[in-house]
Structure 1
Amino acid sequence: MRNFMPKLPASRARLLAVGLMVALTASGCTQMKGRQGYVVDPVLTQAITPGVDNRESVEKTLGRPTFVGQFSNNEYYYVSRETRQLAFANPRPIAQQVLRVRFDPAGNVAAVDKTGLELVSKLNPEGDKTPTLGRHRSFFEDIFGNIGAVGAPGAGAPPGQ
């Protein structure tokens, strides 16, 4: 049986192998961009004016809000976030805008606030421990801490029972 593949010189085969390795490595290190939430249009967001607009005109201009205030429906939030991710790492925010539109009880716009990336906080878990506020107790205090507390006066059971 004949081999129909032409033979490449050794230097050319090495160059081809190195080129394939570089291409595969570079493709794994790409940066992916993502966008979440409301797509901000600066002209439309600046058009919302306190005292002039109402709930209906805000919804017609900006659309439905990303979410409504948790404790009252007099606040609309429009949230937009852009992220960047390198290969298999977790995405990290590179830009964020939160537009809060507050309404008075009559439904008219009372205020418009914008915040950005400065309010994003990064949480880093510390191993397998959760940091808490309060007393730091030793191992023995955890084990023997309740001795004497059970049945002590003022600890639950009325005296004489």
Structure 2
Amino acid sequence: MAGLLRAGGRIGMVATLAVLASACSSITNHRGYIIDETLVASVAPGLDNKQSVRGTLGEPTMVSEFGDPIWYYISSRTTQAPFTRPRIDEHTVFAVHFDAAGTVTAADRTGIEQVVRLNPESDETPTLGRHRGFLEDLFGNIGTVGAGGLGGGGAGS
């Protein structure tokens, strides 16, 4: 009987460790357009137009607002370990360029090397110009109000 309890305890401990180990695994998530290599390779400059690209690849993720018409198909794969922020592992942008008639002129692909990392949680916003201290801000205008030549109603009025 004691041997059965020990075996049951070991099985329970192994099961608990298995559950805890699976809880620490990373979560993989796909965001955006799911790229099919065969369909992307079938887009041919000079042969395809907007209608055929839409039929092959579907609606673009984003369309350019200015300049030549460009359709962007954006895809990202992220992983997230427990209690952390998601991290981009793979990022692809497939851009299809069109001319004024709507014919494909070029199709190119860029990857994660084009991604810019920004830190929006900074305490300061960098600005151009002089850095002024607290006392300069407080007393900086003393003597400039009503100074001659600034249209403040001088002697020649």
Q: CA RMSD in A?
A: 3.2
Asked if 1:118 corresponds to 2:117, the answer is no
Go from structure 1 to structure 2 and tell me whether the alpha carbon gap of 1:159 and 1:38 turns closer, same or farther (over 3 Å shift): farther
TM-score for both structures, normalised by structure 2: 0.78
Cα pair 1:80 1:97 within 8 Å, conserved: yes
1:53 to 48, 54, 62: 48
Cα pair 2:72 2:94 within 8 Å, conserved: yes
Alignment of 1:82-97 (within 5 A): 82-97=77-92
Aligned to 2:123: 128
| Cα distance between partner residues in 1 of 2:148 and 2:108 | 56
User: When the two structures are aligned, how many residues end up with a matched partner?
Assistant: 156
2:132 to 115, 132, 137: 137
Give the SS at the match of 2:141: coil
Go from structure 1 to structure 2 and tell me whether the alpha carbon gap of 1:32 and 1:144 turns closer, same or farther (over 3 Å shift): same
| Cα distance between partner residues in 2 of 1:80 and 1:156 | 59
Listed one character per residue, the Cα deviations across residues 12-63 of structure 1 (whole Å, up to 9, x for unaligned) are: 8986786576446434422000101111011211211111111111111111
Residue 54 of structure 1 aligns to which amino acid in structure 2? N
Which one is further off, 13-22 or 141-150?
13-22
Q: 1:88 offset after TM fit, Å?
A: 2.1
| Cα distance between partner residues in 2 of 1:8 and 1:91 | 46
Identical counterparts, % of pairs: 44
Q: 1:146 offset after TM fit, Å?
A: 2.7
Give the SS at the match of 1:112: strand
Go from structure 1 to structure 2 and tell me whether the alpha carbon gap of 1:138 and 1:19 turns closer, same or farther (over 3 Å shift): farther
Q: Structure 1 stretches of 5 or more lacking a match?
A: 1-5
Alignment of 1:67-82 (within 5 A): 67-71=62-66, 74-82=69-77
Q: 1:66 offset after TM fit, Å?
A: 0.6
2:102 to 95, 103, 107: 107
Go from structure 1 to structure 2 and tell me whether the alpha carbon gap of 1:127 and 1:19 turns closer, same or farther (over 3 Å shift): farther
